[in-house]
């Protein structure tokens, strides 16, 4: 990867019936947003999918084809409801195989547990043999170290500069593993472009009336995104629209100046201005 290549888009896949059923609330999306933002990066998309092989395989096939950098959280264990490893291999059209480095790490973990429990390590015992399934990855995968219990995750290359990085569903494991991936593989894009989000509260506005101005700003400044967030019952500002732009700092500043000029030209009643760097 070279510095003259554009900053990639980052995506997130959250796997698990427990998220879709409401048994557990997803904590990964806000944390990944935080981890990326701390490095001057941003999350472009998120997909949620249950423990359903055809659906998960389709989601992962799309992720690999996207060319994006994607983190997938959950479903990489070795119980019957864990399908992510198998679906990743199917999406790539490759076989599953026991990764030698993952095997060594899993065996090291099993030895540690046996020692802590004062028991002999029996590598041929059925449950220990079964645990090696957690190191069965799509052919060609590379490992992601797990600082919590040594059971690794894995990464597979997608299209172009893209890749999908698979980590457990447990935040205590997943989050430091995601940080490791970012620091090891994508540091060249950290804070390459200082970004800004700048907006203003437009009192009593409706989005339809503001759409022509939004289209005008996006046409004049294609490197920025224009956004609107309507509210009908804000306790302080009442009915309003937060109208703004986001992008590289200099480009966002120029677009925002034009946005304000357009609002003044139509006599919009403006309130507080908000800046998020």
Is domain 195-276 classified as CATH 3.40.50.1100? Answer: no
* Rounded (to 5) percent helix, strand, coil in the chain: 40, 25, 30
Pairing mode, strands 69-73 and 10-15: parallel
We find that the CATH architecture of domain 10-189 is 3-Layer(aba) Sandwich (3.40)
Q: pLDDT, tens digit, for every residue of 251-270? A: 999 999 999 999 999 999 99
For residue 121, what are its two tokens? 């390590």
CA distance 138 to 92: 8
Sequence length of the chain is 277
What pLDDT score does 193 carry?
59
Is the pLDDT reported for residue 191 higher than 80? Answer: no
What pLDDT score does 3 carry?
46
What pLDDT score does 214 carry?
95
Is the pLDDT reported for residue 204 higher than 60? Answer: yes
What pLDDT score does 192 carry?
57
* Residue 50 DSSP class: -
Is the pLDDT reported for residue 95 higher than 90? Answer: yes
CA distance 138 to 161: 19
Percentage of the chain with pLDDT > 70?
97
How far is residue 112 from each of residues 117, 119, 121, 150, 198, measured CA to CA in Å?
A: 9, 10, 9, 10, 52
Is the pLDDT reported for residue 202 higher than 70? Answer: yes
Strand locations in the chain (E): 10-15, 43-49, 69-73, 96-98, 136-138, 142-144, 153-157, 163-167, 195-203, 225-234, 238-248, 270-276
Contacts of 158 (CB under 8 A, 6+ apart): 63, 64, 65, 66, 67, 68, 70, 164
Residue 231 backbone dihedrals phi, psi, to 5 degrees:
-145, 140
CA distance 25 to 19: 6
The mean pLDDT of the chain is 92
Q: pLDDT, tens digit, for every residue of 130-166? A: 999 999 999 999 999 999 999 999 999 987 778 999 9
What pLDDT score does 4 carry?
56
Q: pLDDT, tens digit, for every residue of 218-227? A: 999 998 999 9
What pLDDT score does 89 carry?
97
What pLDDT score does 180 carry?
98
Helix pair 53-66, 84-92: axis angle to 10 deg: 50
Percentage of the chain with pLDDT > 90?
78
Please state the rounded mean pLDDT for residues 229-244.
91
Q: Where are the domains of the chain?
A: 10-189, 195-276
């Amino acid at each position: 990867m070279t510095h003259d290549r554009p900053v990639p888009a980052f995506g997130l896949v959250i796997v698990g019936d427990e998220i879709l059923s409401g048994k557990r609330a997803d904590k990964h999306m806000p944390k990944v947003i935080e981890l990326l933002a701390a490095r001057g990066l941003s999350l472009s998309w998120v997909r949620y999918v249950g423990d359903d092989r055809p659906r998960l395989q389709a989601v992962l096939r799309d992720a690999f084809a996207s060319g994006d950098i994607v983190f997938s959280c959950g479903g990489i264990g070795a119980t019957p409801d864990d399908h992510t490893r198998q679906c990743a291999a199917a999406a790539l059209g490759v076989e599953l195989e026991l990764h030698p480095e993952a095997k060594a790490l899993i065996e090291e973990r099993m030895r540690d547990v046996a020692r802590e429990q004062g028991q002999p390590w029996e590598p041929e015992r059925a449950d220990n043999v079964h645990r090696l399934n957690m190191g069965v990855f799509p052919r060609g995968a590379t490992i992601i170290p797990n600082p919590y219990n040594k059971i690794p995750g894995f990464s597979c290359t997608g299209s172009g500069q893209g890749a999908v990085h698979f980590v457990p569903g447990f935040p205590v494991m997943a989050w430091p593993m995601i940080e490791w991936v970012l620091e090891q593989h994508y540091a060249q894009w950290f804070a390459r472009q200082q970004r800004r989000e700048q907006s203003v509260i437009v009192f009593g506005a409706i989005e339809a009336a503001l759409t022509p101005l939004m289209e005008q700003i996006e046409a004049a400044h294609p490197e920025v995104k224009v956004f609107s967030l309507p509210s009908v019952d804000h306790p302080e500002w009442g009915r309003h629209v937060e109208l703004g732009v986001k992008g590289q700092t200099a480009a966002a500043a120029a677009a925002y100046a034009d946005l304000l000029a357009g609002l003044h030209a139509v006599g919009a009643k403006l309130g507080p201005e908000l800046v998020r760097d």
